């Protein structure tokens, strides 16, 4: 029994046993190289700063993208309504052409012209512009070819006739101009 008491006293004296009988935690080992530890901490700090900057940049990009989308939505919100008004303008054009051809009722002709100008001004304030394609080279993004006309006077792929003008909404094609395009006389034979 003396041996157990001696072992317990020895354990208590070198601090490896506590009152509860469990072993005490070992003291932390001294850092092998303080410079290496500092370098590692700096690397971790730089990594965290880099990730933070990237997250901030991404957040800023998302905010700007959302702002652009809101502005575009607002800018083109009335596109559907304007598309429905364009045939009304076409009918006014037809009525004016018919009234001019008949020469009757100059007062009616003047009234319809006034209505047409006023409607075009309202649409202009909403960002709509009317364009003509006559004499321009054919551009499939702005013109819709509905006829091909053989012409020796005009260069091939030049717009020589226009059935309906085109319309833009803030620079975006709302409706392409309906056009007739010149073709060289030898193209028709082939």
CATH code for position 92: 3.90.20.20
Q: How many folded domains does the chain comprise? A: 2
Residue 174 structural domain: 128-190
Residue 117 tokens, joined? 């100008």
- From 107, 126, 145, the end of a domain falls on 126
Q: Is residue 75 assigned to a domain? A: yes
Q: Is residue 47 assigned to a domain? A: no
Residue 182 tokens, joined? 């010149």
Q: Is residue 152 assigned to a domain? A: yes
164 and 100 share a domain? no
**Centroid of chain to Cα 126:** 20
CATH code for position 180: 2.30.22.10
Nearest to 184 by CA among 151, 139, 137: 151
Per-residue pLDDT of the chain (190 residues), as tens digits, is 455 555 544 544 444 444 444 555 555 555 568 999 999 999 999 999 999 999 999 999 999 999 999 988 888 888 888 999 999 999 898 888 888 888 777 888 888 899 999 999 999 998 999 999 999 999 999 999 999 999 888 889 999 999 999 999 999 999 999 999 999 887 655 4
116 and 177 share a domain? no
Q: Is residue 98 assigned to a domain? A: yes
- From 126, 143, 163, the end of a domain falls on 126
């Amino acid at each position: 029994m003396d041996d157990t008491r001696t072992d317990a006293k020895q354990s208590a004296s070198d601090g490896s046993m506590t009152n509860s009988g469990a072993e005490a935690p070992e003291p932390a080992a001294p850092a092998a190289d303080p410079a290496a530890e500092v370098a590692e901490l700096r690397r971790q700090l730089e990594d965290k700063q880099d990730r933070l900057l990237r997250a901030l940049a991404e957040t800023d990009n998302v905010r700007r993208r959302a702002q652009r989308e809101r502005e575009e939505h607002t800018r083109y919100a009335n596109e559907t309504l304007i598309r429905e008004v364009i045939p009304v303008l076409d009918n006014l054009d037809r009525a004016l052409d018919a009234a001019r051809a008949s020469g009757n009722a100059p007062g009616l002709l003047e009234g319809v012209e006034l209505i047409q100008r006023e409607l075009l001004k309202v649409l202009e304030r909403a960002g709509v512009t009317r364009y003509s394609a006559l004499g321009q080279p054919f551009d499939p993004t702005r013109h819709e070819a509905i006829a091909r006309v053989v012409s020796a006077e005009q260069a091939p792929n030049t717009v020589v006739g226009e059935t309906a003008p085109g319309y833009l909404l803030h620079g975006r094609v709302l409706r392409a101009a309906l056009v007739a395009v010149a073709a060289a006389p030898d193209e028709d034979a082939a």
